[in-house]
Amino acid sequence: MIRSNVQAKQCSVELQVCFHSPPIQKIQIKVIQSYQVIASPTMEMQPLVFLLATQCYQRRESSADSRSPILMIFPFADLKKATRNFSPDLRLGRGGFGDVFLGWLDPYMYAYGDAVAVERHIVETDEGRAEWQAKLSFLGRLSHPNIISLLGYCSHEQEHLLVYEYMPKKSLKDVLFKDISEPLSWGTRLTIMIGVARGLTYLHSLKAPVIFRDLKSSNILLDADFNSKLTNFGLAKCIPVNGETYVTATLVLGTYGYADPAYIATGHLCVKSDIYSFGVVLLETLTGLQVIDQKRPKEKNNLVEWVRPSLERRKKLKKIMDPRLEQNYPLEGAFRCTALTLRCLENFPKDRPSSEEVLRSLEQIYMANK
């Protein structure tokens, strides 16, 4: 059952779609300019209403497949109000384009209701605008439970904004390294890294594989149940469908400590570059230590260089593991994780496991000790 209410002045279509009874799911869709309503609504609008409703239903039923998500066009005034005029008090951090703010949408106007994350990017050049549009097109094609959901966007004069689902637990970096955080349990740490592996597997298995290129603990967001989602695709790169397994980067980009040394040395970027970064994050998750920390003694500044020699020695395991775990972890499972970390950190990309292998290994470790 579909009930529609088309308002010409606001150029919007409000749908109430009854997928199951009860409840009735209310969906608000802003109509793009090509569908502007300039006259009173008539029965001729019904096909459009039905089409939009059908698309929403398909997205709801197939949220985990490769179908591109439907993006909403948000009015700038609504986002300005939602973020209290981009108040510094609501700033969550910095994303790939600019500052990210917490916002609250009017639940009577938008199906998403309550909290969203709004990324603000002020574009002053045609080149910057073209780059923003390219990234929007890229992000709009991704749809997976372990990839942050882009809900919509806004382009208003020099203001360009992206609206994402809000992740209340913030990032893995926040919950893993801050002293105020309650220590993550062994099971939760595995669950988080399994989600990351699933996200990478999705990206790497696309027809034109996507290299994330900036996998790090701050780019892994967590929902209320600690399900992990990859975010910040500002450096992501697609591998052309031409038989090549890598792309040559004219400018080497990434984050020191997480970036693949082979990529830095050769400029060749491949999906196995992400696997190295995954190994670094897995090591951080096991040890509770950041990969680069200048406060540590000089010989221990780089976590990978410091700990790598001990990863394959069982007797060193307890010295490596995060002491906040208080040894509440299975020794065999922990050792299998350190062995997997070592494989991910191999110097040559060809010697590293695929994302599918990483995922399978972590799932087996988790199930063995469930």
Per-residue pLDDT of the chain (370 residues; tens, 9 = 90+): 333 333 333 333 333 333 333 333 333 433 333 323 222 233 333 333 333 333 333 333 333 344 556 889 999 999 999 999 999 999 998 876 789 999 998 776 776 567 999 999 888 788 778 777 877 888 888 999 999 999 999 999 889 999 999 999 999 999 999 866 689 999 999 999 999 999 999 999 999 999 999 999 999 999 999 999 999 888 888 887 766 777 887 777 889 999 999 999 999 999 999 999 999 999 999 999 999 999 999 999 999 999 999 998 998 999 999 999 999 999 999 999 999 999 999 999 999 999 999 999 999 999 997 7
* Residue 1 confidence (pLDDT): 34
Q: Give the span between the Cα atoms of 191 and 170, in whole angstroms.
A: 16
Q: Are 118 and 103 in contact (CB under 8 A)?
A: yes
Helix (H, G, I), strand (E, B) or coil at 162: strand
Sole residue written with tokens 């300019």: 33
Q: Are 254 and 213 in contact (CB under 8 A)?
A: yes
Burial class (CB in 10 A: 0-12, 13-18, 19+), 133: middle
* Residue 25 confidence (pLDDT): 37
* Residue 19 confidence (pLDDT): 33
Integer Rg of the chain from CA: 23
CA 39 to chain centre: 41
Question: Of 65, 78, 214, 274, which residue is the catalytic one?
Answer: 214
* Residue 217 confidence (pLDDT): 97
Q: Give the span between the Cα atoms of 23 and 18, in whole angstroms.
A: 7
HSE toward the beta carbon, residue 233, CA cutoff 13 A? 27
pTM here is: 0.79
* Residue 32 confidence (pLDDT): 34
For the chain, domains (ranges, CATH) are: 2-61 (no CATH), 72-165 (3.30.200.20), 172-368 (1.10.510.10)
Known catalytic residue: 214? yes
Strands, E assignment, 49-187: 72-73, 91-94, 99-104, 115-122, 150-156, 159-165
